[in-house]
Chain A
Amino acid sequence: MLGLERPEVDYREGVRMTPRVEAGPLAEKAPYIDHGTAIVDPRRYRDPAEAAREWEKMWTKVWTLAGFASDIPHAGDWFKYDLGPESFVVVRGEDDKIRAFYNVCPHRGNRIVRSDFGTATDCFTCAFHGWRFGHDGGLLSVKDPETFRPEVLAHATGLTEVRCDMWAGLVFVSMDPDVVDLRTFLGILPEHLDAFHFEKMRVSEDIVYTYDANWKTTYDAFMEFYHADMIHPELGEAMETYYNQYDLYPLGISRMLLPFGYAPDKTADPSVVNEALVQTLVRYEGDPEEWKHLTGEEYAEAILEAKRRLADREGWDHFKDLSDSQVVGDWNYSFFPNVTINIFGEMAYFQIFRPHATDPMKCVWRSVQLNLVGRNGFQPVLATGLGNEQDDPNGWDGTVRPPIVYAQTPEDTGFILAQDAYLVPPVQEGVNSRSFKGFILSEQEIRIRHYLAELDRYLNA
């Protein structure tokens, strides 16, 4: 493509991240995991029976990311978490412990909470008949108990608790009481990602959009950057779309390291400092005049230095523990079964891909952007703003929790993400075609095979 000469690729080595900046020991290439060469059967992306099997054998057995501890800072604060046909309420108790319960009143099944966030001052009160439950889920009172026959009232219980645990300010739940402990489930992630300190970040943007596609079809589009040249040409001005490193780890975890901040060799003239690079530098409060001696290929040096200086001004002390690549690049991890995180040093962009409650041909995509709070109010570059940035003149201090925005159109998800939102549903239509034989995957798309293999481990258990 584009007539570029490329070196021969050894698929066991893959493409290592191009060494524009110091990558650090965590950038070491992971040992190759061979998932074979089979065509991926498209039935698993369209068969309702497969979706039902996934629900019973996988979704109800794993930990999934439910939300963020910073969203429930005080006793009684809660958030609602929906996964497929289930809903949970996650609440911080007086003992500061975070617990999660099925969002179901044991009386008649009403949802205990219906908003995304709230505070239950002393207890939860079901708005159907007024049964009351403590923050620990215990049943506090039944309205008009004398009107129940004792044998019936004996069935009255508290809310049904599910497993709940935290890592780095992220709250996970599992419906399986016998699930492995969260640390085990997360594999290499704490070792690789603790240095970014997600727990110090706050939500700057939160968007939900319902895709007309299976959750895996949607997830797959975010598991590789092979599609970037065709779908996101704007990103290719300042972001590597070929020399990206794809790594697989045990437990379905994987990553792609996407170098950022310079003109890749496929731009019209990589020596030129293009507008995307200048804009990026300015966003990080750098001065283009200072870096006029650099070419476009060398420009990551300028953006890196701008970000390190910004970190000093904003008080992000832990940046000293991040490699240059971690500061300026896109360290893009995924953890099983349904989360990707683009990490750009001061920002972590979570995407969560959930099955729809009733329709396997739909999924509920949620993007949550977290940013470090700086002492000078550094304004996050919001995902929805990419390509049409608009600053809030008041700056940002992370204290105002933005509401979850329920996007109605692809455009509501922002310029770049709308490109994906337009892309995916017709892909699903093609996958549904009787003519389609299955995915023919390159080594740039190896992460898809990897999480599917982990999914198979659950389905075949």
Chain B
Amino acid sequence: MSGDARFLRAASATAIMPGAFEHVAIAGHDLLICNVGGAFYAIENRCSHQKKPLDQGRLVREGIVCPFHGATFDVRTGASTGFPKCRSIRHFITRVVGDDVEVALT
């Protein structure tokens, strides 16, 4: 079994420039697909501090800053990286197939 069935198309790779991210809803998940120097990462669009959305936040390389209270997360791992220190947010494995960014959803 390849496990490919878990991957769902989430975005167009060429539509998300390096340094940018796209807010997508897919299979009941609210996600941000982030392009960090050409590599794609998927995180849930929900800050673990006050459960606010992150999609109006600022992405600087691998770090995203919550627009509400400034919590910061590494989009590669979902880890909280500063104040206010909080739990990691969910992140998902991605792959690029052709122009499709696919996300492994469980």
Residues on A lying within 8 angstroms of B by beta carbon are 76-77, 113-121, 125, 127, 394, 399-403
| Selected contact of A401 from candidates B60, B68, B71, CB within 8 Å | B60
Which of chain A's residues has its CB closest to B68's CB? A125
Cα distance, A114 to B69, chains bound together (Å): 10
Q: Is the CB of B61 within 8 A of A118?
A: no
Closest 6 CB pairs of A and B: A400-B19, A118-B65, A127-B69, A121-B67, A121-B56, A119-B58
- Interface flags for B6-35 (1: CB within 8 Å of A; 0: not) read 000000000001111000000000000000
Q: Is the CB of B67 within 8 A of A127?
A: no
Q: Which of B55-83 contact A (CB under 8 A)?
A: 56-58, 60-61, 63, 65, 67-72, 82-83
* Seed contacts A76-B67, A119-B56, A127-B83; 14 additional CB < 8 Å A-B pairs: A115-B58, A115-B63, A118-B65, A119-B67, A120-B67, A121-B67, A121-B68, A125-B68, A400-B19, A401-B19, A401-B60, A402-B61, A403-B61, A403-B63
Determine the chain B residues whose CB is within 8 A of the CB of A403 once the complex forms. Answer: 60-61, 63
Q: A118-B70, A119-B67, A127-B69 are in contact. Are A394 and B57 (CB under 8 A)?
A: no
Cα distance, A394 to B17, chains bound together (Å): 11
CB distance from B33 to the nearest CB of A (A): 16
Q: Is the CB of A114 within 8 A of B67?
A: no
Q: Is the CB of B70 within 8 A of A113?
A: yes
Determine the chain B residues whose CB is within 8 A of the CB of A113 once the complex forms. Answer: 70
Q: Is the CB of B83 within 8 A of A114?
A: yes
Q: Is the CB of A118 within 8 A of B84?
A: no
Determine the chain B residues whose CB is within 8 A of the CB of A115 once the complex forms. Answer: 58, 63, 65, 70, 72, 82
Q: Is the CB of A117 within 8 A of B60?
A: yes
Cα distance, A282 to B31, chains bound together (Å): 44
Cα distance, A211 to B68, chains bound together (Å): 34
Which of chain B's residues has its CB closest to A401's CB? B60
Cα distance, A117 to B60, chains bound together (Å): 8
Q: Is the CB of B65 within 8 A of A125?
A: no
CB distance from A440 to the nearest CB of B (A): 45
Cα distance, A301 to B72, chains bound together (Å): 50
Determine the chain A residues whose CB is within 8 A of the CB of B49 once the complex forms. Answer: 127
Cα distance, A120 to B20, chains bound together (Å): 17
Which of chain A's residues has its CB closest to B72's CB? A115
Question: Could you list 20 A-B pairs, sorted by A, with CB under 8 Å?
Answer: A76-B67, A113-B70, A115-B63, A115-B70, A118-B57, A118-B65, A125-B69, A127-B70, A127-B71, A394-B18, A394-B38, A399-B19, A399-B20, A400-B17, A400-B18, A400-B19, A400-B37, A400-B61, A402-B61, A403-B63
Which of chain A's residues has its CB closest to B67's CB? A121
Q: A118-B67, A121-B67, A121-B68 are in contact. Are A77 and B58 (CB under 8 A)?
A: yes
Cα distance, A9 to B69, chains bound together (Å): 61
CB distance from B55 to the nearest CB of A (A): 10
Which of chain A's residues has its CB closest to B83's CB? A114
Q: A77-B58, A394-B38, A403-B60 are in contact. Are A117 and B17 (CB under 8 A)?
A: no
Cα distance, A121 to B57, chains bound together (Å): 8
Q: Is the CB of B65 within 8 A of A117?
A: yes
Determine the chain A residues whose CB is within 8 A of the CB of B68 once the complex forms. Answer: 121, 125
Cα distance, A127 to B60, chains bound together (Å): 21
Q: Is the CB of A114 within 8 A of B82?
A: yes
Q: Is the CB of A119 within 8 A of B57?
A: yes
CB distance from B62 to the nearest CB of A (A): 8
| Selected contact of B84 from candidates A117, A127, A394, CB within 8 Å | A127
Which of chain A's residues has its CB closest to B84's CB? A127
Determine the chain B residues whose CB is within 8 A of the CB of A120 once the complex forms. Answer: 67
Cα distance, A326 to B36, chains bound together (Å): 35
CB distance from B63 to the nearest CB of A (A): 7
The CB with the most chain A CB atoms within 10 A, among B37, B57, B69, is that of B69
Determine the chain A residues whose CB is within 8 A of the CB of B20 once the complex forms. Answer: 399
Determine the chain B residues whose CB is within 8 A of the CB of A117 once the complex forms. Answer: 58, 60, 65
Cα distance, A402 to B61, chains bound together (Å): 6
Cα distance, A394 to B83, chains bound together (Å): 34
